[in-house]
Amino acid sequence: MRTIRLMSSICAIAVLLSGVYPAAPVSADSAPIHIAVITDMSGVYSSLAGKGSVTAVQMAVDDFGGKVLGRSIVVDAVDHRDSATVADAKARQEFSNGADLAVDLTNSATALAVSSVGKEMHKLVIVTGAADKDITGKFCNKYTYMYAYDTYALAHAEAIPIVKGGDKLWYGVAPDYAFGHSMAEEFTNAIQPYGGKFVKIDFMPLGTTDFSSYMLAAKNSGAKVLALLNAGADTVNSMKAAKEFGLDKSMKIIAGLFFTSQVNTDPNLWTGLKFADSWYWDQTPQAAAWARRWEAKMGGDNPPDSIQAADYSATLQWLKAVKAVGSTDADKVVGYLDGHKFNDMYAVNGEFRTADHQVLHNFYLYEVLAPSQYKEKNAWLKIIGTIPGSEAFPNPATEGCAKTW
């Protein structure tokens, strides 16, 4: 009896607590506008996006005034748990409950899933956190914009300046699945026109934590550039292994996908690394001011990264578009956004490209400074190259996007 009471009380409490839930909207015209931030709130990417992305979107809503078209704006935080099936279900739920915009989508599988939901339900999806260039290629659709970066941009912004500088022999390590192969292909294509080539690219199985064998092979290969064509924990593990074998002294090391907030996890480890990104918190006074406001809201002293800044910018641009066309209807908003040029805290020379729904903006190559060289706290990077959006992002003519709008 006692245990039944225990179990029943646990269940009852859970049920009661879940009843603390916002009431459903009353009528469509005065109902609040919902923006769904579909992101990774609890898993591998939660530090890169997650709560920080939700905060960024909320800041955009607040800066815009909290209302548009006489309706208040509500930001819904949605955890996709890095699962395409969960993302699909949650997106459907949000859209059928009245959400007009899904933003963030960190993790390519979830981005693709939600993009097709948006296409089916005629709702706008702005992807800031995924890297798959097929989202503006063979999977392009009228209702999805790719806002921040993709594997093509990363490859071109990083590889070209270095291979132009004379380092033609490269060695790569990549994870053996879609992302890794995509990065390998992009980088190979990027350096080839300049005479660069990969001596070898090691594709390692998912879950490899020990990169020693590959680093040793890289050392023996005679290559001058080590390309870590991976992300997240893999980059950390391969960098640690590279330094163990002294590769940082004999080769240039670049990271395929690296976010600025990762530097803080181990500043000494990353000194000397070169990588590309669309935004860095300290690159303009405007950006720095926004970053400080974001830090204040988040508590702690880690600055935002480019995904979170892109979320802010995307939300702001969408709200402006909604106001301009007088409606949240996706078709009308797309009509306004296509071809629209803009500049803000995040995007320099920004443009919503009509041909493939890629949002263009400047892309940058950074180098990580040694901690002794920081001018102020967290000022880890220096810009060593700027690439205009039209060069950084894929060419719509060759991308394979079947434009149907």
Partner 1 sequence: MKLSVRAGLVLVLIAVLALVPFIGIPLPPLFGEALRSPGSMTLLAGCFIFGALALSYDVIFGYTGLLSFGHALYFAIGVYGTAIALTRWHWGLAGALAFVILMAIVLPAIIGAVCLRTHGIAFAMVTLAFAQAGSIVVMLNPYNLTGGEEGLALAASVLPAPFSGVANTRNLYWLALALLIFTYAAAAWLISSRPGRAWQAIRENETRAATVGLNPYLFKLGAFVASALLASLAGIVYVFLEGGAAPDVTTANFTLTLLVMVVLGGVGTLWGAVLGGIVYEYLDFRLVVLSSASGVQSLPPVLRVPLSQPLFILGVLFVLLVLFVPGGLAGAVRRLSSSSKRTILGGNKP
Partner 2 sequence: MSLDYIAAQTFNGLASGAYYALLALGLSIIFGTLRIINFAHGAMYMLGAFGAYYGAQLLGLPFFAALIVVPIAVGILGMLLEWLILRRIARSDPIYGLLLTFALTLVIVNVMTLLAGTLGSPYSMPGALSGATNLGFTIFPTYKLFVISVSLAVCVVAWLVVDRSLLGARIRAAIENPVLVRAFGVNTPRLVTVTFGIGVAIAALAGVLAAPTTNVLPTMGDDIIIYTFAIVVIGGLGSITGSIIAGFLLGLLQAIGAVYYPPIATTLIFIVMVIVIWLRPSGLLGRPESTR
Q: Of these, 61, 241, 242, 348, which contacts partner 2 (CB under 8 A)?
A: 241
How far, in Å, CA of 383 to CA of 366, rounded?
5
| Residue 124-163 contact track with partner 2, rule CB under 8 A, x = bound | ----------------------------------------
Query: Under a CB-based contact definition with an 8 Å cutoff, are residues 393 and 182 in contact?
Result: no
Secondary structure class of 121 (helix, strand, coil): helix
Using CB under 8 A as the binding rule, whether residue 176 contacts partner 2 is answered as yes
Q: Which two tokens stand for residue 24?
A: 């459903």
Nearest alpha carbon to residue 385 among 286, 283, 297: 283
Query: Under a CB-based contact definition with an 8 Å cutoff, are residues 225 and 199 in contact?
Result: no
- By CB under 8 A, the residues from 186 to 245 that bind partner 1 are 205-206
Helices (DSSP H) in 275-399: which residue ranges? 285-298, 306-325, 330-337, 389-392, 396-399
Using CB under 8 A as the binding rule, whether residue 327 contacts partner 2 is answered as no
Query: Under a CB-based contact definition with an 8 Å cutoff, are residues 182 and 151 in contact?
Result: yes
Using CB under 8 A as the binding rule, whether residue 108 contacts partner 1 is answered as yes
Give whichever of 94 and 202 is closer to partner 2, judged by the CB atom: 202
Using CB under 8 A as the binding rule, whether residue 313 contacts partner 1 is answered as no
Place of tokens 């593990």: 237
Q: Of these, 193, 207, 222, 299, which contacts partner 2 (CB under 8 A)?
A: 207
How far apart are CB 47 and partner 2 at their closest, in Å?
Answer: 4
Q: In the chain, how many H helices and how many E strands?
A: 15, 16
For 313, list phi and psi in degrees, rounded to 5.
-60, -45
Using CB under 8 A as the binding rule, whether residue 142 contacts partner 1 is answered as no
Angle made by CA atoms 302, 349, 291, in degrees to the nearest 5: 15
Give whichever of 71 and 81 is closer to partner 1, judged by the CB atom: 81
Element spanning 77, H or E: strand 71-79
Give whichever of 199 and 298 is closer to partner 1, judged by the CB atom: 298
CA atoms within 13 A on the CB side of 28: 7
For partner 2 (CB under 8 A), the number of binding residues is: 38
Give whichever of 13 and 324 is closer to partner 1, judged by the CB atom: 13
Query: Under a CB-based contact definition with an 8 Å cutoff, are residues 233 and 208 in contact?
Result: no
Q: In 10 A of CB 121, how many CB atoms?
A: 16
Rg (CA), the chain: 22
Using CB under 8 A as the binding rule, whether residue 9 contacts partner 1 is answered as no
Give whichever of 135 and 401 is closer to partner 1, judged by the CB atom: 135
Q: Of these, 202, 277, 311, 356, which contacts partner 2 (CB under 8 A)?
A: 202
CA atoms within 13 A on the CB side of 16: 6
Q: Which two tokens stand for residue 347?
A: 């995007």
Q: Which of these segments, 112-120, 138-146, 237-245, 330-338, binds partner 2 (CB under 8 A)? A: 237-245
- By CB under 8 A, the residues from 32 to 91 that bind partner 2 are 42-48
Position 89, amino acid: A
- By CB under 8 A, the residues from 21 to 40 that bind partner 1 are 21-24
Q: Of these, 22, 193, 205, 222, which contacts partner 2 (CB under 8 A)?
A: 205
Tell me which residues touch partner 1 (CB under 8 A).
1, 3-4, 6-7, 10, 14-24, 41-42, 77-79, 81, 83-85, 88-89, 92-93, 96-97, 108-109, 112-113, 116, 120-121, 132, 176-179, 205-206
Tell me which residues touch partner 2 (CB under 8 A).
42-48, 176, 202-210, 212-214, 216-217, 220, 233, 236-237, 240-241, 244-246, 261-262, 265-269
